[in-house]
Structure formats: structure tokens, C-alpha cells
Amino acid sequence: MYDDGRAAAPAAAVNTAGEKVWQELGYRSMQPSWALPKLIALLEDDPGLRTGSRLLHQVDLITWRLAGRQLASDASHALKTGYHLVEERWPHEVMAELGVPEGMLPEVVRPGSLLGTVCAAAADATGIPEGTTIVAGMTDGCAAQIGAGALAPGAWNSVLGTTLVLKGSSPHLVRDPAGVVYCHRGPGGTWLPGGASSSGAGVLSQRFPGADLDALTAQAAALDPDAVAYPLVAGGGERFPFRAPGAAPFLLGHAPTRAAEFHACLLGVACLERLCFDYLDHLGAPVDGPLTLTGGGARNAYWCQLRADVLGRPVRLPQQAEGAVGMAVLAATSSGTGLQEAAAAMVRTAREIAPRPDRTARYLPVHLRFIDELTRRGWLDRTVADHARRRAAP
């Protein structure tokens, strides 16, 4: 899981052995929750796994069951296992130093590649017709991004679920000295930078278990206070837009009622989302294209408007916001159709929400106060905070 930090010691070994490669790939270092540190932890716990074992990502097990034999993995799922996206190979020199047998690693292909077909046994078990083509996919965040149609350079998809995940498109590899932003390889030579926060809508189920969220939203909207909460969900600290293992939730301002506290959480997510874009801009990623909101949080109309107001930019809501749409779009490319062309034909916008200038002006001091507090606590780098303040200046 994203908040599983048990592989901290193996992650240190991974980052020492692979430092040069990880820098080439732009993310500088791996986090303990990534797949390669977890693999090293498993091999250390049970050295016998080095003989005759194979590494499978979740999707690899599914495609194996569908085809009746092991198929290639896709480069998207293999990223956090250390696959070299630029040279399109496993960095065997790093794996050898870490004690990972070469034969343990799967063959890797680009997303959208034809892998095989559904076998008779899988057809009987699932109802999928025998002979149906199996196409290499991508991770859930990339699937949501494609499903949102955020593929042109500068376009972004913000997925607000339990945690907040941002995925965008860039003509160049975005390199992050802090190692919190990483890039998947996109179609046509593009790159898909993104980051996954440890904060998000999960804070609502934590703080308001069993509550009527629609009723709380209505009450919060009527109050419209300016208290803001840092909406950290996981207990292992923050991952994006800054890395801070010791980060903890806090509240700025006065929130005397449940509705006021609820609004502080909504506002906190919006401020954190804006800071994510501040950080991406600081790294040189293009952020001026269309922004699409997906995830469970996008079903709350008031929250979407609040996010547009805090961001000070229009946002779009797609008709279909499921990652499955993105994988259907990707599958359509297996016939030779370009990904952007397929997305244009299959992805539809349901509505666009414009920011209200007076509300953007009202929430700007809140956002700046939020940045000041993160900086004061030593979690947010001062150069990033200064960049965010410059972007906020009229």
C-alpha cells in the first residue's frame, strides 16, 4: 500500500545502488512504499525466493490468468520496480548489486502493446470471449488521466480519492531533486509527470465517520469560514507536494462546530492542491493547460467550485470519470489509432466550472497562511514556498 513504510532500510540500499539511474529517470530516489524496496525486503526475509521465483505486478497475475501463461509486463507498472524508462530496459547492473536474479524480472513492453489472447479456461470463468485481445495497460493514476483526456502538454488530471493524485503531460522529462514527482512514459515521446499525496478526501471518513456528508456540505457552504486544516490521511507523513515523514495534521483558525471543521478540511485539500501546482511549476513542468477533476471528491459540487476558486482557474468534469474509460481508450490504440485521437473520440466533458474572482481573492490569504505554517514546521522547503508566493502575487 501507498502508506506502507516497512521497507525503509531496503529503500536506503536501493537508493545507494541505483542513485545514478534514479537521477537519470528524474525522481532521484525511491520511496519505501515503492515496489523495488519491497522486493528487496521480501528477498532479505526469505533468501530462498531468489531461486525459481518470478516477480509479478498485480496486473501481471491477471493477464497470466486471462491468457493461461505468463505475459509481458507494461512499463507503467514496472516503473516503481526500477525499470529504466529512457533506455527501456531493466538496469541489471543495479539489480545484480541488490541481489535480484535476472531471471526473476519479467519482459517489459510499452503500454498499448498486444500481449496475447484470452484462453478457453479464462473465457469459461469470466464470460470474455475466447481469443479476445489482451493489451498492455497502465497504472490506475495513468488510467484516470487518459480517461480524463489530459494528454496534451500542460493538461492535468487531479484525482481526489482517499488521497490526492495529480497526473499531467509534458514534452520533456520532469526531474525532481526532492524525489516526490516522477514521470511515466507517455505516447509519442511525451512524459506523464505526477505525484501522489498522503492527504485527500480520506480525512473526511476519518474525522466524520458515519456522517451525512451532503448535509455537512450544505452547512459548511452556508458558513463559509476561513479556517483551514492540513488534511493528512496516512500516518507515515507526507509524500507530495513535499516529502516529510514527520508531517502531522493541524488546524489554522477557529472551527467550533462540525460543519466548520468539515469546511476546514475541504479548504485544506484545495490549498494543498494549489501548492501541488506551485511545486510542479517550480520544477519546470507545464501547468497551464486544461485541468480535469475526477475521483470520488469530484462528485461534491460545492467542493469542485471551492477548488476552482482556490486554484483561480477553470476546471472540467468529464462525463465518465472511471479509470476503465482510460484503459478502453488505450486499448483502442492497439489498432494503430493515436492515443490523443482515441481520447478525443471517446472522452466527453460534462461541465466546466469557472473560478469566482471574488472568492479567489478571499481564499488567497488563507492559502498563503497555509504555506507559511508548512514552512514554519520545517516540512516545506523555503525556495518552494517563495515560488508559491511569487505565483500568488498579482
pLDDT tens profile 345-388: 999 998 999 999 999 999 999 999 999 999 999 999 999 999 99
Which residue, 137, 154, 175, sits at the end of a domain?
A: 137
Instruction: State the Cα–Cα distance between residues 50 and 212, nearest whole angstrom.
Output: 51
Coil vs helix vs strand at 85 = coil
- pLDDT tier, 4 (very low <50, low <70, confident <90, very high otherwise): confident
Coil vs helix vs strand at 10 = helix
237-284 tens-digit pLDDT: 999 999 999 999 999 999 999 999 999 999 999 999 999 999 999 999
257 shares its domain with 387: yes
Q: Which amino acid is present at 282? A: H
Q: Which residues pair with 164 in a beta bridge?
A: 160
Return the ∠ at Cα 286 (arms to 174 and 360), rounded to 5°.
130
* Residue 105 within any structural domain of the chain: yes
CA atoms within 13 A on the CB side of 243: 14
323-337 tens-digit pLDDT: 899 999 999 988 888
151-173 tens-digit pLDDT: 999 999 999 999 999 999 999 99
6-23 tens-digit pLDDT: 899 999 999 999 999 999
| Domain with 113 in it | 8-137
* Residue 228 within any structural domain of the chain: yes
184 shares its domain with 250: yes
- Show Cβ contacts of residue 198 under 8 Å, excluding neighbours closer than 6 positions: 2, 3, 163, 232, 233, 234, 236, 237, 238, 239, 240, 247
> Over 80: is that where the pLDDT of 321 sits?
no
Coil vs helix vs strand at 154 = coil
Higher pLDDT, 298 or 4: 298
Instruction: State the Cα–Cα distance between residues 214 and 130, nearest whole angstrom.
Output: 45
Which residue, 90, 111, 137, sits at the end of a domain?
A: 137
70-83 tens-digit pLDDT: 999 999 999 999 99
* Residue 2 within any structural domain of the chain: no
104 shares its domain with 148: no
* Residue 201 within any structural domain of the chain: yes
* Residue 1 within any structural domain of the chain: no
In sequence order, what DSSP letters do the residues of 294-323 get, joined into one string? ESGGGG-HHHHHHHHHHHTS-EEEES---H
Coil vs helix vs strand at 93 = helix
Mean pLDDT, range 202-222, rounded to an integer: 96
65 shares its domain with 161: no
Q: Which residues pair with 170 in a beta bridge?
A: 191
Q: Model-level pTM?
A: 0.89
Handedness of CA 49, 53, 59, 65 (dihedral sign): negative
What pLDDT, on the 0 to 100 scale, is given for residue 196?
A: 92
- pLDDT tier, 2 (very low <50, low <70, confident <90, very high otherwise): low
* Residue 371 within any structural domain of the chain: yes
Q: Which amino acid is present at 351? A: R
Q: Which amino acid is present at 277? A: F
92-150 tens-digit pLDDT: 999 999 999 999 999 999 999 999 999 999 999 999 999 999 999 999 889 889 999 99
- Show Cβ contacts of residue 109 under 8 Å, excluding neighbours closer than 6 positions: 72, 73, 74, 75, 115, 136
Which residue, 74, 104, 137, sits at the end of a domain?
A: 137
CB 231 within 8 A of CB 269: yes
150 shares its domain with 133: no
What pLDDT, on the 0 to 100 scale, is given for residue 317?
A: 96
Q: Which amino acid is present at 360? A: T
Instruction: State the Cα–Cα distance between residues 262 and 270, nearest whole angstrom.
Output: 13
- pLDDT tier, 5 (very low <50, low <70, confident <90, very high otherwise): confident
Helix/strand number for the chain, H first, E second: 16, 13
Instruction: State the Cα–Cα distance between residues 241 and 371, nearest whole angstrom.
Output: 11
Number of domains in the chain: 2
333 shares its domain with 241: yes
Handedness of CA 287, 170, 18, 58 (dihedral sign): positive
* Residue 3 within any structural domain of the chain: no
* Residue 27 within any structural domain of the chain: yes
- Show Cβ contacts of residue 54 under 8 Å, excluding neighbours closer than 6 positions: 70, 103, 104, 106
120 shares its domain with 151: no
> Over 80: is that where the pLDDT of 234 sits?
no
186 shares its domain with 127: no
131 shares its domain with 179: no
* Domain CATH number, residue 20: 3.30.420.40
Whole-number average pLDDT of the chain: 95
298 shares its domain with 379: yes
- pLDDT tier, 188 (very low <50, low <70, confident <90, very high otherwise): confident
What pLDDT, on the 0 to 100 scale, is given for residue 265?
A: 98
**Alpha carbon of 115 to those of 68, 71, 149: distances in Å?**
12, 6, 24
> Over 90: is that where the pLDDT of 190 sits?
no
- Show Cβ contacts of residue 95 under 8 Å, excluding neighbours closer than 6 positions: 82, 102, 105
162 shares its domain with 85: no
Alpha helical stretches, state H, 178-235: 202-207, 213-223
94 shares its domain with 153: no
274-297 tens-digit pLDDT: 999 999 999 999 999 999 999 999
CB 163 within 8 A of CB 199: yes
39-85 tens-digit pLDDT: 999 999 999 999 999 999 999 999 999 999 999 999 999 999 999 99
